[in-house]
Amino acid sequence: MDKPRNTFEGPRRRSLSDPLTAALRPPPNETPEQREERIRTEAEAKKISDGIDEMIKQEKAELRKTRADVSVLLLGQSESGKSTTLKQFQLLHSPSTFHAERIAWRAVIYLNLVKSVTRILNALSPDGDAEEQDDVASISHSTEANHTTVTNYESYRQRLQPLFNLEARLSFLLSSPDEDEPTQLGPQNGAWPHQTNVLGPSNSQNGNGHSRKKEVTVHTSKNWKKAFALGSKTKNPKSPHTGEIQGWWEDPDDPVHDLNACAPAMLELWRDPDVKKRLEEKKIRLQESAGFYLDEISRITAKKYIPTDPDVLKARLKTIGVMEYPFLISSGTNKGVKWKIYDVGGSRNQRHAWAPYFEDVDAIIFLAPISAFDQVLEEDRRVNRLEDSLLLWKGVVSNKLLANVSIVLFLNKCDLLRTKLEAGVRLAAHMISYGDRPNDYESVSKYMRNKFGVIHQQFTPSKERELYPHYTSVTDTRRTATIIADVRDIIIKQHLKSFKLV
Ligand SMILES: Nc1nc2c(ncn2[C@@H]2O[C@H](COP(=O)(O)OP(=O)(O)OP(=O)(O)O)[C@@H](O)[C@H]2O)c(=O)[nH]1
Ligand SMILES: [Mg+2]
Complex confidence, ipTM: 0.99
| Closest listed ligand to the CA of 474 | 1
Whose Cα sits closest to atom 28 in ligand 1?
314
- Residue 4 C-alpha to ligand 2 middle, in angstroms? 60
Taking the mean position of all CA atoms in its chain, how far away is CA 99? 17
Ligand 1 atom nearest residue 85's Cα: 15
DSSP for residue 384:
B
The pLDDT score that the predictor gives to residue 444 is 98
Query: Do residues 327 and 87 make contact, with C-beta atoms less than 8 angstroms apart?
Result: no
- Chain length of the chain: 502
CA of 172 from ligand 1 middle (Å) equals 23
Please give the angle made by the CA atoms of 123, 124 and 128, to the nearest 5 degrees.
55
Residue 21: per-residue pLDDT:
61
Residue 253 confidence (pLDDT): 81
- In the predicted model, residues of the chain with pLDDT beneath 50 are 1-16, 130-132, 139-143, 182-213, 220-222, 227, 230-232, 501-502
For position 100, what pLDDT does the model report?
80
Q: Answer for the pair 318, 347: CB distance below 8 angstroms, yes or no.
A: yes
Q: Determine the atom of ligand 1 nearest the C-alpha atom of 314.
A: 29
The binding-site residues of ligand 1, defined as CB within 6 angstroms of any ligand atom, are 76, 78-84, 290-291, 313-314, 316, 318-319, 345-347, 412-413, 415-416, 473-475
One-letter amino acid at 178 equals: D
Q: How many other C-beta atoms are found inside a 10 Å radius of the C-beta of residue 399?
A: 17
Kindly give, in sequence order, each residue whose CB lies less than 8 Å from that of residue 183, ignoring residues fewer than 6 positions away: 174, 175, 176, 217, 218, 219, 221, 320
Sheet strands side by side (includes 406-412): 322-328, 338-344, 69-75, 363-369, 406-412, 467-471
Closest among 286, 283, 288, 285 to 139, alpha carbons compared: 283
Most informative mutation of 75, 83, 286 for ligand 1 (most atoms within 8 A of CB): 83
**200 alpha carbon – ligand 1 mean position (Å):** 26
Please state whether beta strands 338-344 and 322-328 pair in parallel, antiparallel, or not at all (unpaired): antiparallel
Q: Which helix (H) or strand (E) holds 326?
A: strand 322-328
Ligand 1, atom nearest to 288 Cα: 1
Residue 420's pLDDT is what?
94
Q: Which of 155, 213, 206, 210 is nearest to 180 (CA)?
A: 213
- 182 C-alpha vs ligand 2 centroid, how far in Å? 14
Query: Nearest Cα to 112, choosing from 322, 308, 252, 259?
Result: 259
Using alpha carbons only, what angle is made at residue 189 by residues 193 and 301, rounded to the nearest 5 degrees?
Answer: 55
In this prediction, residue 150 carries a pLDDT of 83
